[in-house]
Amino acid sequence: MKTILITGGAGFIGSNLCGRLLEEGNRIICVDNFLTSSKENISSFLENKNFKFIEQDIVSPLFIDENIDEIYNLACPASPVHYQNSAIHTIKANTIGVINILGLARAKNAKIFQASTSEVYGDPLEHPQKETYRGNVNPFGPRACYDEGKRCAEALVFDYFRTHNLKIKVVRIFNTYGPNMAPDDGRVVSNFILQALKGEDITIYGDGNQTRSFCYIDDLVDGFIKMMASEDQVLGPINLGNPDEFTVNELAQKVIESTGTKSKLVYKDLPIDDPTRRCPDISLAKEVLKWEPKIKLQVGLVKTIAYFKSKI
Ligand code: UDP
């Protein structure tokens, strides 16, 4: 049995990861400050003797008595609405917070997995995005707290590897969706599904021709576990995401078809620095991790719609 620390474990991705790793027989220590996550996401684990919860922000140093084998650092607001509302805190989580977690990993001699993001590519000029692309990020725009924060976090993780020979794993996560997404986090999939289920207007930002590639949560969690289990020389960064690319208009049509809603489309202003196109090149994940997503958007949407229906 491994002891695995998951920071941000009550969030959308974190809680799905906690569930899977508990099922696989591990002991989980989940740390979260509930800034953008919810107690409900982890309520079903609280009775499990292999699950321990610590309410804490990683910006404060974390002291843990027991041995830890692996750490997944997922602690950070991740939706544009949330990270822009907590911009300075987002930078702190990705700098001070990441240094705290790296220090803990060193003290425990634990392997550390850092959740990075497709946002390190900014509004990409290369398409699809390969890990070798250095990105097109606005360093002082409203998304910079997250984009530059995550870029700095990558730099820190690699410096701890070079300086202290820490075992590191870095993945760049592309748009992901599924059960346990926060209904209020303003992301396109959760917004569209909730609007459709409530019969409200579906809000398309800009002309809706911008693209994203949506990965279902179960596929992403598979990728995380494969990355953590990969050989020590596999450091990353490795893209994890679904390479099927859709425009926001196409996504809206799929949500309309899957819910049978009578909601109308309304067009609103495009947020500043909203990337025009985003699609991962996952050749590296295929080759090194033998991983690729299996769940088609249509199938994942049906599961996610069922989840949100049960919540409203
Ligand atoms: N978007 C939209 N309507 C919404 C929410 C988002 O059209 O109600 C657009 C947003 O402008 C972006 C895309 O959907 O182009 C994905 O947005 P999201 O916030 O989910 O994630 P991002 O990839 O921008 O981090």
Q: How far apart are CA 207 and CA 210, in angstroms?
A: 8
Ligand 1 pocket residue status of 279, Cβ below 6 Å: no
Q: How far apart are CA 246 and CA 255, in angstroms?
A: 12
pTM of the complete model: 0.98
Q: What is the pLDDT of residues 283-307, one digit of tens each?
A: 999 999 999 999 999 999 999 999 9
Half-sphere exposure of 209 (CA within 13 A, CB side): 1
pLDDT at 163: 98
What is the block-wise mean pLDDT of the chain (312 residues), using blocks of 10 residues? 98 98 98 97 98 98 97 97 97 98 98 98 96 97 98 98 98 98 96 98 98 98 98 98 98 98 98 95 98 98 98 90
pLDDT at 311: 93
Q: Which of 72, 121, 146, 216 is catalytic?
A: 146
Q: Given CATH 3.40.50.720, say whether it is the number of domain 3-178+215-243+279-294.
A: yes
Which protein residue's CA is at the shortest distance from atom 18 of ligand 1?
187
The CATH 3.40.50.720 portion of the chain extends over 3-178+215-243+279-294
Q: For residue 216, what are its two tokens?
A: 């279902």
Which protein residue's CA is at the shortest distance from atom 11 of ligand 1?
205
CA 270–ligand 1 middle distance (angstroms): 9
Q: What is the number of the ligand 1 atom nearest to the C-alpha of 189?
A: 20
pLDDT at 27: 98
Tell me if residue 267 is catalytic: no
pLDDT at 99: 98
Ligand 1 pocket residue status of 188, Cβ below 6 Å: yes
Ligand 1 pocket residue status of 255, Cβ below 6 Å: no
CA 32–ligand 1 middle distance (angstroms): 25
188-210+244-275+304-311 has which fold? UDP-galactose 4-epimerase; domain 1 (3.90.25)
Return the C-alpha torsion angle 178, 181, 186, 191, nearest 10.
50
Ligand 1 pocket residue status of 145, Cβ below 6 Å: no
CA 296–ligand 1 middle distance (angstroms): 19
Which protein residue's CA is at the shortest distance from atom 19 of ligand 1?
187
Q: How far apart are CA 180 and CA 308, in angstroms?
A: 9
pLDDT at 114: 99
Residue 216: what are its φ and ψ, rounded to 5°? -75, 140
- Residues with Cβ within 8 Å of 152's Cβ and at least 6 positions away in sequence, in order, are 94, 95, 98
The CATH 3.90.25.10 portion of the chain extends over 188-210+244-275+304-311
Backbone Cα Rg of the chain: 19
